């Protein structure tokens, strides 16, 4: 398959692995921020190919996993309102909130539908003028431009029964928050590919400048990740810290200007609540005042009540890189993909689900 097999070439992969082994002389700890990278690293056995000098940690790069229970509770409360259709991406359906889930709310007779894009929700609102259609807007900078486009489309077409619950989060601010927490000492960061395709590589410049940490944007194929690790090792060994791109076919330093313009038109930066971290200033997006009529929180009276976490679930510390799923007493016992107790097991890209499906094969 053109442009896929080329990035899975075993001979090229062996050369990169040999080079990493040759160049890596001191113990280092790298964190892949994106959950897509975590899946790829486990699926292709990359951890087991690296020298013992390199430790890989997984970060808070799963948008479903980092959605706080208090925000999930808001979505569930909205689902119980009369004449409301909740639209959401599939994985969100099974994520347990404090007392229920969207899946349980649907089983109770509430109208909750899976969609594949925000535009699907706009069309649904157009086809159901007597109902309020609410889209659960989660994700990082990757999905925010499409949500912004759906708002502009609804405005242009005069669709006034379309709303979003705005739970979008921004990657660079949470990277800074994690580094400021100082719970885990990092030497390098594998920066997210899809997010960087939107925002570019410039927003990460504070990482080498302020923290002296190596920083490379990676794609998702095995050779992408190995090249990224090789570049990180080179920066660390030479103590020349900077932002580099190992995913040139997908990422430009300046990012996607049109996508960023869409986001800036519809959204403004505000605080966001991150699971396991809490409220982080300037790490989320909210609708600008001009578009507040599309904001579900401002247009519906909801009272989700107090939030709480599942007893024994350590998703929060896993997302911060402080723990791994192997540290959780519930993992593989009480908590499985069939019966998830926490979001890290629900999402196909969550750390717990990744360890469950791929970790056992490698003795994890």
Question: What residues pair up with 246 in beta bridges, in sequence order?
Answer: 218
Cα-Cα-Cα-Cα dihedral sign, residues 12, 14, 18, 20: positive
Q: What is the pLDDT of residue 2?
A: 57
Residues 119-143: what's their mean pLDDT?
97
Q: How confident is the model at residue 165 (pLDDT cuts 50, 70, 90)?
A: very high
The token pair at 101 is: 């889930």
Do the Cβ atoms of 163 and 295 come closer than 8 Å? yes
- A 10 A CB-CB count for 4 gives 8
Residues 285-309: what's their mean pLDDT?
95
The token pair at 352 is: 């717990």
The DSSP H or E segment spanning 226 is helix 222-238
Residues 63-78: what's their mean pLDDT?
96
Angle, to 10 degrees, between the axis of helix 222-238 and the axis of helix 35-43? Answer: 100
Least confident of 75-84, 88-97, 162-171: 88-97
pLDDT in tens, 237-295: 999 999 999 999 999 999 999 999 999 999 999 999 999 999 999 999 999 999 999 99
Q: What is the pLDDT of residue 361?
A: 47
From residue 133, give the alpha-carbon distance in Å to each of 64, 112, 299, 312, 345. 21, 10, 12, 35, 28
Q: How far apart are CA 360 and CA 208, in angstroms?
A: 35
Do the Cβ atoms of 344 and 38 come closer than 8 Å? no
Residues 196-207: what's their mean pLDDT?
98
All residues at 6 or more sequence positions from 192 whose CB lies less than 8 Å from its CB, including other chains: 33, 34, 36, 37, 61, 140, 171, 217
The DSSP H or E segment spanning 270 is strand 267-274
* Residue 267: half-sphere exposure toward Cβ, Cα within 13 Å: 31
Q: Cα-flanking dihedrals φ and ψ of residue 242, to 5°?
A: -160, 180
Do the Cβ atoms of 95 and 350 come closer than 8 Å? no
Angle, to 10 degrees, between the axis of helix 35-43 and the axis of helix 351-358? Answer: 10
pLDDT in tens, 117-129: 999 999 999 999 9
- pTM as predicted: 0.93
Q: What is the pLDDT of residue 1?
A: 44
Averaged pLDDT of the chain: 95
Q: How confident is the model at residue 49 (pLDDT cuts 50, 70, 90)?
A: very high
Q: What is the pLDDT of residue 326?
A: 95
As a whole-number percent, the residues of the chain with pLDDT over 90 amount to: 92
Residues 134-162: what's their mean pLDDT?
97
DSSP letter for each residue of 271-322: EEEETTTEEEEEEEEEE-GGGGGGBHHHHS----------TT--HHHHHTTS
Q: What is the pLDDT of residue 360?
A: 54
Q: With 70 as the cut, is the pLDDT of residue 3 above it?
A: no
Q: What is the pLDDT of residue 263?
A: 98
Residue with more model confidence, 285 or 348: 285
Q: What is the pLDDT of residue 362?
A: 41
Residue with more model confidence, 3 or 220: 220
Bridge-based pairing of strands 84-88 and 112-114 is: parallel
Q: What is the pLDDT of residue 182?
A: 94
Torsion of CA 109, 110, 111, 114, to 10 degrees: -90
Q: What is the pLDDT of residue 91?
A: 86
Bridge-based pairing of strands 243-246 and 267-274 is: unpaired
Q: What is the pLDDT of residue 156?
A: 97
Ordered structural domains, the chain, with CATH: 1-304 (3.40.50.11740), 315-362 (no CATH)
Beginning with the edge strand found earlier in the chain, give each strand of the sheet holding 243-246 in spatial order: 54-58, 28-32, 188-191, 214-218, 243-246
Q: How far apart are CA 348 and CA 97, in angstroms?
A: 18
Q: With 70 as the cut, is the pLDDT of residue 363 above it?
A: no
Residues 160-179: what's their mean pLDDT?
97
């Amino acid at each position: 398959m053109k442009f896929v097999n080329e990035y899975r070439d075993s001979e090229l992969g062996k050369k990169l692995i040999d080079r990493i082994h040759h160049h890596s002389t001191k113990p280092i700890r790298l964190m892949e921020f994106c959950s897509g990278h975590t899946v790829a690293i486990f699926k292709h056995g990359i951890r087991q190919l690296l020298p013992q000098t390199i430790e890989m940690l997984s970060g808070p790069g799963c948008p479903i996993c980092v959605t706080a229970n208090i925000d999930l509770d808001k979505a569930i409360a909205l689902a119980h309102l009369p004449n409301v259709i909740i639209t959401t991406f599939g994985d969100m359906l099974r994520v347990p909130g404090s007392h229920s889930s969207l899946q349980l709310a649907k089983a109770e007779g509430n109208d909750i539908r899976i969609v594949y894009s925000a535009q699907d929700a706009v069309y649904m609102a157009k086809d159901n003028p007597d109902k309020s259609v609410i889209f659960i807007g989660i994700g990082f900078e990757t999905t925010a431009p499409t949500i912004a486009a759906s708002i502009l489309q609804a405005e242009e077409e005069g669709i006034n029964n379309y709303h979003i619950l705005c739970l979008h989060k921004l990657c660079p601010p949470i990277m800074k928050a994690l580094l400021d927490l100082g719970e885990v000492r990092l030497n390098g960061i594998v920066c997210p590919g899809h997010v960087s395709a939107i925002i570019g590589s410039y927003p990460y410049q504070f990482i080498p400048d302020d923290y002296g940490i190596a920083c490379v944007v990676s794609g998702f194929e095995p050779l992408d990740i190995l090249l990224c690790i090789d570049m990180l090792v080179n920066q660390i060994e030479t103590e020349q810290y900077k932002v580099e791109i190992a995913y040139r076919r997908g990422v430009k330093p300046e990012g996607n200007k049109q996508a960023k313009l869409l986001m800036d038109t519809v959204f403004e930066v505000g605080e966001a609540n991150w699971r396991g971290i809490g409220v982080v200033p300037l790490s989320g997006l909210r609708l600008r005042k001009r578009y507040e009529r599309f904001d579900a929180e401002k247009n519906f009276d909801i009272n989700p009540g107090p939030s709480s976490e599942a007893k024994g679930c350590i998703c929060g510390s896993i997302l911060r890189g402080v723990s791994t799923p192997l540290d959780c007493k519930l993992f593989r016992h009480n908590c499985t993909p069939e019966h998830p107790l926490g979001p890290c097991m629900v999402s196909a890209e969550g750390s717990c689900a990744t360890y469950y499906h791929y970790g056992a094969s490698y003795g994890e």
